Amino acid sequence: MSSQVRLRLLPSARCLFDEPVQVKVAGLRSRQVVTMRARSTDEKGVTFSSSATYRADGSGEIDLDRDPSLRGSYVGVEPMGLLWSLKADSLHKMFQKSNSLNPHVVKFSVHEEEEEGRMLAEAINERFLMGDGVSRCPVKEGNLRGVLFTPPGDGPFPAVLDLCSFPCEKRASLLANRGFMVLTVAVFNDKLANIKELHLDHFEEAVDFLKQHPKVGSKGVGVVSRSKGADIALSLASFVSGVEATVWINGCSANAAVPLFYKNRQILSPLLFDSSKIILTESGASIIKYGVSNPLAEENRGSLVPIEQTRGCFLFVAGDDDLNWDSKGYMEEMVERLKRHGKKNVQSVSYPRAGHQLEPPYGPYYPSSFHGVMGRPVMWGGEPRSHVAAEVHMWKKIQEFFRTHLSCDAAQTKAKLQTQIR
């Protein structure tokens, strides 16, 4: 490495996962062309990498907030491009980051264009999912299996239930950093072949757990969800009291895949799938969007979630290029249905050229990966730049929505504490 070249990550090389960093290089020759690289290994041991070529200015400096990439994993001014363009060597790999205890570690480096890419400087970026003072506690009560994240301090805190299709702590821990008490619960904890039905009562237990927690000050509970978790969230809002604010991301308007039961009776039939309508792409990944039955067809009306009977608020988020569901179509139908029933408690946003996997920002973008329910690699959709820009906007929108609709009552929290002491 060159002792003169310096690679800096500002404001710090240690940050939260959803925070941007400014990547700057100094000490290069005037107008020198170099390659910037990033490299990271996920929880499965798969290595992801990215690279981009930059030209220094007259002072021998490069600033990714200002300077365009000339070629590589992306082109143009992309301050966080080295992060979102991280990619595995093999096809259909999703960057696995679901455990909140360990940071997402990224190695940034600067290399000569000549001399076989001799390294000139490097820096390590530790991107934490849990900030200082946030606590993590596994929860196992009755049918409830989840992980609770609590911000530092005594509260009161607004409460959010994070519904994931499969166990994942990323979104929940990051929301806890922003002042929300978050319980994350997976829709599927068992092998899918063993799941013949789902029971809304199990998710109601999660809502009740949050409502009764002594540090929760919000009148009701918020729910955030995507994909299969999104229709469970709709059902909670429609059938369970205490759900005040629901964020639905790229899901269905109907109960998908398996029957849904509540209080020992079936409340929603499953919206079925026609595998003959799957489209196989040249990459080996499938487009499954067109195999989903129409929830508005007469024979499927029993699967449509009756959101018009809720008293809570909704934020619907859809990627226009979602190849897993017709998310935008479902969103538009639900918004129209709520308005037709006189409901004014709805917000919606659609993102052009964004795909299915809308997540907290600054993680690697992946256009395809293995689908846990379908048992095959699928295309998720989305154009990289548009998709990652949507994630940044969506993440702020979700927090604003919950802060608006989950106001805290300190007196209510104090009463809960006094009840527990007695």
C-alpha angle 22/134/387, rounded to 5°?
A: 45
Which residues are identified as catalytic? Answer: 227, 322, 356
d(CA 159, CA 243): 10
Is 48 buried (19+), middle (13-18) or exposed (0-12) by CB count in 10 A?
buried
d(CA 331, CA 234): 12
**Placement of tokens 């929301």 in the chain:** 175
Task: Answer yes or no: are the C-beta atoms of 166 and 102 closer than 8 Å.
Answer: no
Full DSSP string of 24-37:
EEESPPTT-EEEEE
What single DSSP character describes residue 410? H
Taking alpha carbons only, the member of 24, 22, 31 closest to residue 60 is 31
Residue 166's Cβ-count burial label (10 Å; 0-12, 13-18, 19+) is: middle
DSSP string, 99-130: -SSS-EEEEEEEEESSGGG-EEEEEEEEEESS
Helix H or strand E segment including 54 = strand 47-55
d(CA 128, CA 182): 17
**What is the spatial distance between Cα 252 and Cα 250, in angstroms, rounded to a whole number?**
7
Both structure tokens of 193: 């072949």
* Contact predicate 361/388, CB 8 Å: yes
Fill in the amino acid letter for 109: S
DSSP state of 165: S
Residues forming beta bridges with residue 145, ordered by sequence position:
140
